[in-house]
Amino acid sequence: MRIPKRLFLALSAAILLVVVLFVVVNNHAARESLDQSLRDRARELGSAYEVALSSSLVSASQMASFIAADVETLRYMARAREALAGDGGDPFGSHSAEVRYQWLQAMQPSLHHLRQRFGMNELEFHLYVNDQAMSFLRLHRPEGFGDVIEAPDHPVNRAARTGAGAAAPVLDAGGAALRAAEPVRWSGPDADEEQLLGMVEVGLSFDALLDLLNRRLGVQAAVVLDAAAVEGVVALVVRERELTRLAGTSCYLFTAAGPDADRLKDEVTSCHAGVSVVGDSVPVAGKRRFAQTVVPLELAGAGRSIAGAVVLWFDAEAALAAYERTLVVNIGYAAAGFIVLGLVLFVLLRGGMRVFETELRRRTSEIRQLNRRLTRMATTDSLTGLHNRRHFLQRMQVEMDRVRRAGGELALILIDLDHFKQVNDRYGHQVGDEVLRKTGRLLLEQIRSVDIVGRYGGEELCVLLPDTDAAQAMIMAERLRAGIAGMPFMAPGGTAFRVTASLGVAQWDGLADRDTLFVQADTALYAAKDAGRNRVVPFGPGPPAGKRP
């Protein structure tokens, strides 16, 4: 059979479309995989940053607690308070300066020890006077003292207020850092309770924390501050550290760590809270490319909880190169596949059209058979083989419409097996199912070809008798009752038993609707049960039957 040229071209175009779709889908999947790997890595780094932050705060708290408990700290803090009082509360007075110099000389080895062994690079002592925490000595910046810590959420004020240690990332006049404060208390021999002398503050700068992340995890990082969030504090920090605002943002770059940080900082687009992972790669000089994630930064003393962000950059070159290789391979496979499939298509179409037509006819026949089976399943009760309720009601409505148009008689019989629940309870549901099956077969054997029989629900069966008057309907109902009563059944163990049925008969008057006719037949059925069961009762005037027992 000759292949039509248009068909071949159309199928070739379809193959090309499939090939293109293959490339697009695979590229999308590869991109999703790349983005997911970058997001996973970003989450790992964010968690590592949180762990490093938490660990640094714990270490700072331990150091602050250790120094606060030292006898020398207690002694110098008591002397500092006396000197400050002697200078009339002026921290720049001569007495205060003398004690500050001696204290500085005594504590310089401790600061060196903190830096070398624990990485802590800030140590500060505050005096608590007039319900305020005043900086008396900064070992890491001796020229800076005398300022009062005003922010209520600053660890120093929290330690003074609660009497317990406190730690948090802080933004104050000294910049952004991790700080821990511990109260120093003294109780004299005649004092009834301890007196708060001041606080010890130990800190780790963000520069040191970012260097730690760079060394341990190989990530490059930066701390950016939101100018709108920290306002006046930022102005002081900007002036002292000569910070600059990043182009196109409201962010100040506070500090950065890593050989490429100066170039990477230009990729920061926001420092607002809630910034999520940026999946796109950031090209940097040479062939190295990075991805970035932005972690919101909570800072005490900034006027709001989230005042900036920590930006982490990690090398994405290997992941991006793998993605690009996958894309090239997919395109190559697609081109080869298109050529091969085109040849195969030509051969198959040329030699297989007849086979295709034969298969099409066979499949069409199977579909028709399947449709017939589905129709039977949709209209037949699977247990009894009778019409199911929905299909019986449809057939009943068709017959009622026919009788309205052409005239004639129509009767309905409702059948309910007496004490059927006892059969199920005594002999089991398998025996009960067999009773229903045999009863259904009996009805099919007894009725005429024009009659319609169905299972209405449970043990209830129904028979519609077209062209049948009331007397004929009663005769048919009695014959069905007698047939059911005379039908033997066998229970497990060889026990024989019989069942009976109650039947209600209703003759249609040509006016009532389908539901009313059913109510009439059901009323007669209830009357048959109330009268003792195993009988046929027609619907007629009189009081309605009671509820079904």
Opening angle at CA 442, ends 441 and 443, nearest 5? 90
**Closest Cα to residue 67, out of 100, 102, 99, 114?**
114
pLDDT band at 283 (very low <50, low <70, confident <90, very high): low
Instruction: Determine the pLDDT at residue 183.
Output: 93
Q: Tell me, yes or no, whether 59 lies in a domain.
A: yes
- Does residue 239 register a pLDDT over 90? no
Predicted TM-score (pTM) of this structure: 0.56
Residues 142 and 266 in one domain: yes
Question: What does the pLDDT look like over 100-133, one tens digit per residue?
Answer: 999 989 888 887 887 777 778 888 999 988 888 8
We report the CATH number of the domain holding residue 453 as 3.30.70.270
- 397 compared with 45, residue with greater pLDDT: 397
Q: Tell me, yes or no, whether 188 lies in a domain.
A: yes
**Dihedral over alpha carbons 498, 502, 437, 399 (to 10 degrees):** 160
Instruction: Determine the pLDDT at residue 242.
Output: 60
Out of 337, 362, 397, a domain closes at 337
Q: Tell me, yes or no, whether 215 lies in a domain.
A: yes
pLDDT band at 279 (very low <50, low <70, confident <90, very high): very low
Q: Tell me, yes or no, whether 206 lies in a domain.
A: yes
- If you average pLDDT over residues 307-314, what whole number do you get? 82
Instruction: Determine the pLDDT at residue 484.
Output: 96
Q: What is the phi/psi pair of residue 495, to 5°?
A: -80, 125
Out of 276, 305, 337, a domain closes at 337
pLDDT band at 275 (very low <50, low <70, confident <90, very high): very low
Residues 319 and 421 in one domain: no
Question: What does the pLDDT look like over 150-186, one tens digit per residue?
Answer: 888 889 999 988 989 999 988 776 677 889 999 998 8
- 332 compared with 176, residue with greater pLDDT: 332
Q: Length of the chain, please?
A: 549
Q: Tell me, yes or no, whether 350 lies in a domain.
A: no
Residues 318 and 397 in one domain: no
Amino acid at 26: N
- pLDDT above 90 covers a percentage of the chain that reads 32
Q: Tell me, yes or no, whether 164 lies in a domain.
A: yes
Out of 294, 310, 337, a domain closes at 337
- If you average pLDDT over residues 87-95, what whole number do you get? 90
- Does residue 374 register a pLDDT over 90? no
Most confident of 135-149, 153-167, 333-347, 412-426: 412-426
pLDDT band at 334 (very low <50, low <70, confident <90, very high): confident
Instruction: Determine the pLDDT at residue 462.
Output: 96
Beta strand residue intervals within 341-408, DSSP E:
none
- If you average pLDDT over residues 264-274, what whole number do you get? 64
Residues 217 and 154 in one domain: yes
- Domain coverage including residue 438: 389-538
We report the CATH number of the domain holding residue 309 as 3.30.450.20
- If you average pLDDT over residues 185-189, what whole number do you get? 73
Residues 126 and 217 in one domain: yes
- If you average pLDDT over residues 230-244, what whole number do you get? 56
**Closest Cα to residue 186, out of 82, 74, 76?**
74
Look up tokens 């040479």; give the residue: 286
537, 518 in Cβ contact below 8 A?
A: no
Averaged pLDDT of the chain: 83
Q: How many Cβ atoms are within 10 Å of 251's Cβ, its own excluded?
A: 26
- Does residue 541 register a pLDDT over 80? no
- 544 compared with 432, residue with greater pLDDT: 432
- Does residue 478 register a pLDDT over 70? yes
Residues 414 and 310 in one domain: no
